[in-house]
Structure 1
Amino acid sequence: MTTSRRIFLKGMLATPAAFGTFPIFSAIAQTATGSALTVAIMKPAGDLNPHKYAGLWGVQDLIFEPLIRYGRNGEALPCLATEWTLEEGGKLLRLKLRQGVTFQDGTAWNAESCMWNLDRWIGKDAQNWMNLSRAYESKKIIDENTIEIRFKEPVLGLLYELSFIRPSRFLSPKSVDKDGNYQAPVGTGPWIQDSATNEGSSFRRFDGYWGDKPSFERLELKVLPDSRSRMAALRAGEIDLTGGDFLAPLTANEATTLKKAGIEVSVETGTTTIVLGFNPDRNAALKDARVRKAINIGFDRAAIAQVLYQGLAQPAGNFFAPTVPMAGKPVDVPARDVAAAKALLEEAGWTGDDIRERDGKPLAVELVASEEQIAGSRAVAEVMQAQLREIGIDLTIRSIDHASRHSDIPARKYDMAFFLTFGAPYEPFGSIVGLFLSTYDNGVDGKLFVDAQNLDPLVTAVMQASEANIETALQNIYDWFQAEAAVAPLLYVPSMWAHSPRVKGFTPPSTEYDLPYEGITLSEQS
């Protein structure tokens, strides 16, 4: 597999400055009023074809629905499928489709329209980054509201993959031309797109929606590429909602400033972890677990949380946040312990009063940081540089841009580097397989740690585990991480949103790919 999941997830967000020529308020037509929720987005919604990888996920989520929806903490919730069963050891999936559902153009949702959508992507080479596409064997209609999908092998994370915003969601068969080319965004979801320009998109409520309908009639998306303009617009009542990694992200400084100004700010532990990765193959000193353990307790995670998120982020002990399903037994956050770190290095043969040496060579480690991957990572690296020097490690910092990271990290041109786990709905299997299995080509994501002899069998055991044994197999990996100090989790990235006073009942979305409109009611502008 050569196509990276992260290419699809992050690549399109690398150049928001391309829209920076807009005047600050050019995208704001009027103050948010009445029965319309106005949401900031940092770039135009783009091509919303759910079977391609071009548009904003949160906007596609308004229109297109999955068979199974990813709920909070990884709960699999019925959506266009109401029931599902796995048979033959996980190789056969039978789905009962929701009845009484129509697409926004009146086309019936049934087994035939479901199959039409699956034919457009499942089992195709371009989608083989997904386990269910790679393992796909066949499918058939049982009756108008029942289908079966057969796989060559049990599919790891099958239900989560069925929740993905793309390519797993459903388009009206009438929204393509005679050659099957996509023409318009028509789904079964609660919002119908009325217009889309470089300045924003406008939606009206689909009153024929099968589920709970939004309490407001319209949803307006306003393009504000600059974060300062989004903050000003929110404070002025020009928009109602901003935030989310892929819509219009807030920094911790912005969240704190808005909160001080009396704006409602929501901060929750997210599903992504910032992790320090080691590459012993490039730096022999890191082959010794005692050196890795010394580094792991040689710096202060609370200080790093303050630098990156002004204390809004939770320091990490586990590889995954507790918001991730099957995250394992809770592990205490490692406390900085200079004396214990020095003792570990002494035990490993690294001695000296300043920079430690062994066999005449200094204990030197390079840390690679990319501001474009994690804003503020250079400052974090400098904190670690100062603190690790106190235990005798000479840490040098190499700052690289986005393109260089995409070449250097897969090529393992680093001693240590910062990584991000994939986040829901891709966890826990996405990061465990993608970032650790040596034989899995994950493109630009690179590997957090490679140990083909000891770690690969543990990952393979997860991939082959039955439902009854999957959590035990995952725990074996987490225990190995701890015993070997193979990775150093730093922080759980917070999910941050801010909204106007007229927004009531706001709840952060289950993933960073959803736009949180559900449960919101709008009061009159004060």
Structure 2
Amino acid sequence: MKKLSVIGVIMILFSLVLTGCNGTNKESSDENNQEAETVNIAISDEPKAEQLDATTYNSSMAIYSAVYEPLVEYDEKGAFKPGLAASWEISEDGKKYIFYLNEKVKFSDGSPVDAEAVKFTIERAKFNNEMSSLQLLSNLEKIEVIDEQTIELTFTEISNQILAELCQTRPLRIMSPHSVEEEKVSGKFIEAIGSGAFMIKESSAEHVLMIPNPYYNDENPVNYQINFKMIEDGSSRTLALKSGEADIIGGTLGAVTDSDIGSFESDTEYNVVEFEGTMSHFLAFNPDNQELNTTLRNVIELAIDKASLSDKELVGLFRENVQYVSEVNQKAVTYDIEKAMSILESEGYAKNKAGYYEKDHQELSFDLVIQTTEFPEWKQQAELLENDLKKAGIKINITILDREGYYDALWKTKEYDLIFYRTYTDALLPYNFLNSLYHNTEEEHGVLANDEVLSQLLDEFGQVIDEQQKQQIADKLFKRISDETLAIPIDYKDEKFVVSDKISEFSYSGLSDSPIDYKNLMVK
């Protein structure tokens, strides 16, 4: 009996050693995750992790980059650098792209990130976004797998935005075919399987807990887990950080006001981190409102004291670090309330007893729509703008909508005269932003403009390869926006975050919509 007991002990010990050596063993992995520090990240909207299909727009923008990686990335200065694609080639005519994949990368289920997975992702993105204006989807003619690590994309026409579109947070980050039923392009989504730093462990309407992907970074995973928490109100996000409920707040994840951020600057328990951004916040106009013509839009800009809205010098829609912006293709409009009123009077407007201008018994009164869930500072800026325009004899009625109602007004109902909005992350390369919002189609005018000249310039820009030609067209594009007052800047936004002392190092990814560099995030 004694001999058997020793053998039994040896076998048990041997078994334990084998289990400990198996880095991908589920039980071992679960134990490690239970010991891993949890980083709580406040986000402004419901995560909807059960719908985190890389090729759709169904989940919170904030959580895509935790699970999925792009073929191409931006570097700190907005140039392209390798992502899942180690390198690429572009044909001289701009119609063919060949991508050579990093052969070491695996998805979180251990399967390879290969050419077939890339082909599957792009075909699924095209299937799920039939009306997309993205060149990669709308101009795609065929996809050919050359070998396991090489894929070739051919387009029907010059497509000069492919690399920029691949950098975006969605809908072209690469997902495993195992994520859907029967690995079919049209298959029902089952689970999020990507090559990013994390995989989903549990989720609800209020949060999503993600644990390290054991195959990430050539099987050198991060040593912490993350918990995205939905906290809709900006002030509540600030309180969550102070109470320890959150460890990271700010940026597009869940913005907080500058005054709230300032309250942390002298507190050693927190670290305020700031990075130069590329995003602009601006005032836009409903193109269906015929009264808001070029002259009246210009009057409104003249009557707004931009110095009270931002500590930046606001020159045009795009800030100076955005590609193709120059000192001459955007013009600064100086605050001049007397000139604004003089123009109105020359147009036949006269002030009524209430102090507002009117013509033909029609008072100059406009509805301004904003939301404060994502951008809490908009309330104060809207009130400052309302006061400025009141001095100029223009009445502004502010309507604050919830997030869903706001986007319904912008994209669907069009129930606004004026609206605050923001440029996209890919404002580094502003064509996609302008094309999605200012370009007229055969069916309808643009979301924020009805300008055929601007639409024609956008078409021309999308068809050239030569950088000098691009700059020449961009000069005309930006000048047209300025001359026609199709957008009035109200702020240039830097990326500001506040983190708890649990975070010893916080790095910005360079992309506003997926701002955290998880590989370089250091947790105490």
Paired AA for residue 144 in structure 1:
E
Distance 1:389 1:471, change over 3 A: same
Paired AA for residue 437 in structure 1:
H
Q: Distance in 2 between matches of 1:385 and 1:230?
A: 27
Q: Structure 2-normalised TM-score? A: 0.78
1:299 and 1:336 in contact (8 A); partners too: yes
Distance 1:414 1:58, change over 3 A: closer
Distance 1:514 1:377, change over 3 A: closer
Question: Could you say which residue in structure 2 is the equivalent of 1:316?
Answer: 314
Deviations 1:61-106 (A, max 9, x none): 1222111123334322201111112215211111111122222322
Q: Distance in 1 between matches of 2:442 and 2:262?
A: 41
Question: Could you say which residue in structure 1 is the equivalent of 2:458?
Answer: 459
Question: Could you say which residue in structure 1 is the equivalent of 2:505?
Answer: 505
Question: Could you say which residue in structure 1 is the equivalent of 2:231?
Answer: 225
Deviation of 1:450 (Å):
1.8
Q: Which runs of 5+ in 1 are unaligned?
A: 1-31, 306-310
1:369 and 1:378 in contact (8 A); partners too: no
Question: Could you say which residue in structure 2 is the equivalent of 1:292?
Answer: 297
Q: Select which of 190, 194, 209 maps to 2:216.
A: 209
Question: Which stretch shows the higher mean deviation, 408-417 or 185-194?
Answer: 408-417
Deviation of 1:439 (Å):
1.8
Paired AA for residue 319 in structure 1:
L
Helix, strand or coil at the partner of 2:130: helix
Deviations 1:500-521 (A, max 9, x none): 1242331233223215123222
Question: Could you say which residue in structure 2 is the equivalent of 1:384?
Answer: 385
After superposition, residues 90-489 of structure 1 pair within 5 angstroms as 90-122=94-126, 125-126=129-130, 128-178=132-182, 180=184, 181-197=188-204, 200-210=207-217, 213=220, 216-223=222-229, 225=231, 230-237=237-244, 239-245=246-252, 247-262=253-268, 263-278=270-285, 282-284=289-291, 286-289=292-295, 291-305=296-310, 314=312, 316-329=314-327, 331=330, 333-345=332-344, 348=347, 364-371=364-371, 375=376, 377=378, 379-391=380-392, 393-397=393-397, 399=399, 401=401, 403=405, 406-407=408-409, 414-424=416-426, 427-439=429-441, 447-452=447-452, 454-468=453-467, 469-489=469-489
1:281 and 1:287 in contact (8 A); partners too: no
1:243 and 1:498 in contact (8 A); partners too: yes
Give aligned-pair identity as a percent. 21
Deviation of 1:208 (Å):
3.6
Paired AA for residue 64 in structure 1:
Y
Question: Which stretch shows the higher mean deviation, 493-502 or 410-419?
Answer: 410-419
Helix, strand or coil at the partner of 1:370: strand
Paired AA for residue 301 in structure 1:
K
RMSD of equivalent CA atoms: 3.6
1:365 and 1:394 in contact (8 A); partners too: yes
Question: Which stretch shows the higher mean deviation, 57-66 or 422-431?
Answer: 422-431
Deviation of 1:159 (Å):
0.8
Deviation of 1:420 (Å):
2.7
Deviations 1:265-302 (A, max 9, x none): 22445333222234576344x4353x433321212112
Paired AA for residue 272 in structure 1:
M
Question: Could you say which residue in structure 2 is the equivalent of 1:18?
Answer: none
1:283 and 1:415 in contact (8 A); partners too: no
Deviations 1:366-408 (A, max 9, x none): 14223357545455444333323434x3323252635377357
Distance 1:412 1:161, change over 3 A: same
Question: Do structure 1's residue 46 and structure 2's residue 49 form an aligned pair?
Answer: yes
Question: Which stretch shows the higher mean deviation, 405-414 or 84-93?
Answer: 405-414
Distance 1:439 1:224, change over 3 A: closer
Q: Distance in 1 between matches of 2:115 and 2:382?
A: 53
Q: Distance in 1 between matches of 2:34 and 2:313?
A: 40
Paired AA for residue 39 in structure 1:
N
Deviation of 1:158 (Å):
1.2
Paired AA for residue 302 in structure 1:
A
Paired AA for residue 318 in structure 2:
F
Q: Structure 1-normalised TM-score? A: 0.78
Q: Distance in 1 between matches of 2:232 and 2:289?
A: 40
Number of matched residues? 477
Kindly indicate which of the two structures has a greater share of residues assigned to helix: 2
Question: Which stretch shows the higher mean deviation, 91-100 or 176-185?
Answer: 176-185
Paired AA for residue 505 in structure 1:
E
Deviation of 1:413 (Å):
5.5
Distance 1:474 1:425, change over 3 A: closer
Q: Distance in 2 between matches of 1:421 and 1:147?
A: 32
Q: Distance in 2 between matches of 1:501 and 1:482?
A: 44
Distance 1:356 1:514, change over 3 A: closer
Distance 1:371 1:128, change over 3 A: closer
Paired AA for residue 460 in structure 1:
D
Distance 1:381 1:101, change over 3 A: closer
2:71 and 2:85 in contact (8 A); partners too: yes
1:328 and 1:471 in contact (8 A); partners too: no
Paired AA for residue 298 in structure 1:
A
Deviations 1:308-364 (A, max 9, x none): xxx5xx352121133433334375653322344345445556567995868766772
Distance 1:390 1:106, change over 3 A: closer
Helix, strand or coil at the partner of 2:450: coil
Paired AA for residue 335 in structure 1:
T
Deviations 1:206-256 (A, max 9, x none): 454346956x512221525265554344335554322232x3332334322
Deviation of 1:167 (Å):
2.7
Q: Which runs of 5+ in 2 are unaligned?
A: 1-32
Distance 1:381 1:195, change over 3 A: closer
Q: Distance in 1 between matches of 2:47 and 2:314?
A: 35
Q: Distance in 2 between matches of 1:197 and 1:405?
A: 23
Paired AA for residue 99 in structure 1:
E
Paired AA for residue 492 in structure 2:
Y
Question: Which stretch shows the higher mean deviation, 77-86 or 339-348?
Answer: 339-348
Q: Distance in 1 between matches of 2:69 and 2:171?
A: 11
Paired AA for residue 438 in structure 2:
F
Question: Which stretch shows the higher mean deviation, 327-336 or 49-58?
Answer: 327-336
